[in-house]
Structure formats: C-alpha cells, structure tokens
Amino acid sequence: MNYLANMLGRSGLLKRDLDYHLLRAAMVIIFAWFGYDKWFEAEIRGLLPIITHGPFIFWTIPVLGIRGTAIFLGASEWTFGTLLLLGFWNKKAGMLGALGSTFTFIATFTVLPFVPDAWDAGAGGFPAMTIVSAFLLKDLVLLVVSVYLLKQDVARVIEAGGSADQRGTHPFRKLAA
C-alpha cells in the first residue's frame, strides 16, 4: 500500500491545486451544458414538476412564465459558469460564480423532499429512487463542489487582500483611515 501511495504521490495527482482546477473545469462544463438546455421551452416543460415544487424556485413559472423561466435559468447558469471560468484568472469573479453556484444547487437540491414521484412506490417508496430523485441527488455533489470552490476562492481573495494590506496598498485601507 505504501508503494502505491508513493507511486501516486510522484505521479502528479497531488500537484498543488489539481483538484481545485479539475472541479472548477467540471463545473464550467456542467453550467455550459445545462444552461444551454434551459434556453428551450421543452426542457423547462420537462422540469415543471421539479420547478413548481421547489421551495426557492416555485415562483418562476407564475411570475415569468415558461419562456421567461427558460431564459432566467439559462442566463443564470451561463452567468455562473462564465464567472467560474473567469475564476481561473480572477479569484473575485470565481468567488461570485461559486456563490451563485452554491445558491443554484441549494435551490435545486431542496426540491427533493417535495417533488412528486421521487420515490419508487413499486419498490416500497423511500429510499428507492426514481429517475426524478436520482436526477436531483446529483445536485448534492454539485452543491458540495460549489461550497469547496467558494471556500477556496474566498481564502485566496482574502490572502491576496492581506498581502496588499501589508504593503499599504489595500484599496479599503484608505477608507478605514
């Protein structure tokens, strides 16, 4: 086991920030792809049972309509994905993208207890999943990834701000003086 651990350690898997960059790239791809689908009314019609039962998103259909909800969700997902992409170079943009991503997956994962047909009645109900609950369960992992990216970006923004503050060039230093 030690041999395997040493070999993997030398392989580059433990290279600083590899996990952080891979998770960021995966989230960018997910937001690009899912955001694309949201621009189409057919996608939103398929998601109606989920959207209308979400404690944080139920209002979108009555207020925005199906087409407006499609535009709102698609634009939101592309915005957060773009901010996450920009986070490769700008940690403040990445932080905003991760914050939006965190809220997105809180909004979608919290639908799970309320959505109809989430549990397979023929298999005894909860915890036997249907495709609906399986679709929503993936959002738990995406929520955790979002929180991880948010934590990393906040720490990097604070670290960058702290070093600027020590040099006396921090932008808020003048406001506090």
Instruction: Give tens-digit pLDDT for 31-52.
Output: 999 999 998 888 888 899 999 9
Residue 116: which of 43, 54, 41, 28 has the closest Cα? 54
Query: Residue 55 contacts by C-beta under 8 Å, 6 or more apart in sequence?
Result: 110, 111, 114
8 Å CB contact between 94 and 86? yes
pLDDT in tens, 69-104: 999 999 999 999 999 999 999 999 999 999 999 999
| Per-residue model confidence (pLDDT) at position 176 | 45
- Domain presence at residue 72: yes
Judged on CB neighbours under 10 Å (0-12, 13-18, 19+), 27 is: buried
Assign 167 a pLDDT band (cuts: 50, 70, 90).
very low
8 Å CB contact between 121 and 68? no
| Per-residue model confidence (pLDDT) at position 81 | 98
Domain that holds residue 92: 18-176
Token code pair at residue 159: 């670290």
What is the rounded CA–CA span in Å between residue 105 and residue 148?
13
- Domain presence at residue 166: yes
| Per-residue model confidence (pLDDT) at position 35 | 95
- Domain presence at residue 3: no
What is the rounded CA–CA span in Å between residue 74 and residue 104?
12
- Domain presence at residue 68: yes
- For residue 15, pLDDT over 80 is answered with no
- Domain presence at residue 5: no
Percent of the chain's residues with pLDDT above 70: 90
Query: Mean pLDDT across the stretch 148-164?
Result: 88
8 Å CB contact between 108 and 133? no
| Cis, peptide link before residue 55, omega less than 30° from 0 | no
- Domain presence at residue 60: yes
Q: What is the largest CA-CA distance in the chain?
A: 68
- Number of separate domains in the chain: 1
pLDDT in tens, 117-128: 888 888 888 888
Assign 161 a pLDDT band (cuts: 50, 70, 90).
confident
| Per-residue model confidence (pLDDT) at position 7 | 81
- Domain presence at residue 138: yes
Query: Mean pLDDT across the stretch 133-156?
Result: 96
- Domain presence at residue 1: no
Token code pair at residue 25: 């790239």
